[in-house]
Amino acid sequence: MEHFNVEQKIQDFIAKIEARNPNEPEFLQAVKEVAVTVIPFIATKKQYSGMKLLERMAEPERTIIFRVPWVDDKGEIQVNRGFRIQMNSAIGPYKGGIRFHPTVNLSVLKFLAFEQTFKNSLTTLPMGGGKGGADFDPQGKSDMEVMRFCQAYMTELCKHIGPETDVPAGDIGVGAREIGYLFGQYKKIRNEFTGVLTGKGLAYGGSLIRPEATGYGVVYFAEQMLKTIGQDFAGKTVTVSGFGNVAWGVVKKVTELGGKVVTISGPDGYIYDKDGISGEKIEYLLELRASGNNRAADYADKFPSAEFHAGKRPWEVKCDVAIPAATQNELFLEDAQLLVENGVICVTEAANMPSTLDAINHFLDHKVLFSPGKASNAGGVATSGLEMTQNSIRLNWSSEEVDARLKEIMIGIHKACRDYGKEESGYVNYVKGANIAGFVKVAEAMLAQGVV
């Protein structure tokens, strides 16, 4: 009876979210994944009953949508759409990246902001959840066009953010260059030099290790997962997707720990490098990304040990550990089936929501070690939190100090996931663990602060 009630509650909840947020498939996907694990937990906690905590968490505190007009190099006027989703501020100022990509829309940013709330809670640092972006495509734009776009975007955004209100950072399409332009415009308009953005350059308040942090954190997390079955990265074959900042950090750290990364990918297909992506090839990833033409194929032109597989995903390559590090919904059920057939033991998400719900269920059903991005990629935002701390105390920590704190945070997140996700068989369901552990802190803060 009890079980039936909980199932019904989950279905009712999802139906409401669906009706209220039509045409938002990514947002619905993210909420569903949380609802199926968190609602049964809520049902066991008397103090949460009737408080509509998850309902409140699934409704942004504020959504800002604005016009971003700018002038391109030809003198033509361009119009983009800018967003900032201020999802949840129960445990700290809104915090989360900005994405510039043609696929950006309300659904994508709401899913990201929703996930960010749980992720930031898991870091144990005082950061609420937010996300922003624009449907601007930086590909093929000149430096000056990117600068003018960033200035136009910040001209509106600066009215809504601040170091104690909302602290954006980078995400896909927003790296050090964009953060610099965004910071410059904020400072000019507000006449304030503050830690309003993270991912800043070292010369103006950035933190060492922030560029590497997401990828390193993912690998520190995967190390902990492997440790639960008495294994480590030494001698492991690892497949990675993407070739951006996150993939770069992952490849660097896996290689350092004795693993061999054999793939990276782009929108055009994937690269298989039988010799492993190490040494100068790792630094080449940065060049590839900076080239701005989004072609993984260029890697194969440069390094003859690599084969390019056009239009394919790297999940068909036999591996011990798979690390999806590109973007949402890039690993489908058929990929999960192939990975499992080929003997994968650990799948650690580095991107946000790269696996579809049925792919996740396939991994869980087959007892593969599987961690959701909101847990395993939290090292990026955690190090942003460390950047905020350094800005507040007006000091810079050494890379060793930041890296040690990052590692400690990732070990802590792993432990929290284990505490809430361990099943009777001993198998750790990291999806359940991450969702519940992330939920609890936000829920407690919301309960304490009343209906606001």
Among 207, 384, 391, 429, contact with ligand GLU (rule: CB under 6 A)? 384
d(CA 219, CA 259): 11
Q: Is 97 in the site for ligand GLU (CB under 6 A)?
A: yes
Bridge-based pairing state of the strands 77-88 and 62-71: antiparallel
Structure tokens, 30: 């993210």
How many Cα atoms are found within 13 Å in the side-chain-facing hemisphere of 67?
Answer: 5
Closest CA to 261 of 286, 288, 279, 287: 279
Q: Is 128 in the site for ligand GLU (CB under 6 A)?
A: no
Q: Is the CB of 262 or the CB of 382 nearer to ligand GLU?
A: 382
Q: Is 28 in the site for ligand GLU (CB under 6 A)?
A: no
Binding characters for ligand GLU, 100-119, by CB under 6 A (x = yes): -------------------x
CA distance 289 to 121: 31
**Interface pick for ligand GLU out of 60, 92, 96, 433 (rule CB under 6 A):** 96
Structure tokens at 73: 């190099």
The window from 271-279, 332-340, 380-388, 396-404 that contacts ligand GLU (CB under 6 A) reads: 380-388
Instruction: Compute the Cα dihedral for 341, 342, 348, 351 and give only its sign.
Output: negative
Residue nearest to ligand GLU (CB): 97
CA–CA separation, 90 and 129 (whole Å)? 9
Report if residue 255 touches ligand GLU, rule: CB under 6 A: no
Q: Kindly state the smallest distance separating residue 260's Cβ from ligand GLU, in Å.
A: 27
| Residue 352 binding ligand GLU, by CB under 6 A | yes
Sign of CA dihedral 400, 397, 408, 86: negative
Query: Are residues 133 and 104 in contact, defined by beta-carbon separation less than 8 angstroms?
Result: yes
Which of 68, 88, 95, 236 lies at the binding interface for ligand GLU (CB under 6 A)? 95
Pattern 406-425, ligand GLU, x by CB under 6 A: --------------------
Q: How far apart are CA 391 and CA 397, in angstroms?
A: 10
Which residue in 95, 119, 131, 236 is the catalytic one? 131
> Among 380, 421, 433, 438, which residue sits at the site for ligand GLU (rule: CB under 6 A)?
380
Q: How far is CA 415 from CA 126, 213, 224, 406, 444, in A?
A: 19, 19, 9, 14, 20
Tell the smallest beta-carbon distance from residue 370 to ligand GLU (Å). 19
Q: Are 141 and 171 in contact (CB under 8 A)?
A: no
Binding pattern for the stretch 309-348 against ligand GLU, x by CB under 6 A and - elsewhere: ----------------------------------------
Closest distance between ligand GLU and the C-beta of residue 172, in Å? 8
146, 300, 375, 381: residue in contact with ligand GLU (rule CB under 6 A): 381
131 is catalytic: yes
**Distance between CA atoms of 167 and 334, rounded to whole angstroms?**
38
CB 189 within 8 A of CB 379: no
# residues contacting ligand GLU (CB under 6 A) = 11
* Rounded-to-integer distance, Cα 80 and Cα 154, Å: 13
- Select the residue interacting with ligand GLU from 88, 107, 121, 198 (CB under 6 A): 198
Residues near ligand GLU (CB under 6 A): 95-97, 119, 169, 171, 198, 352, 380-381, 384
Active-site residues, by number, are: 131
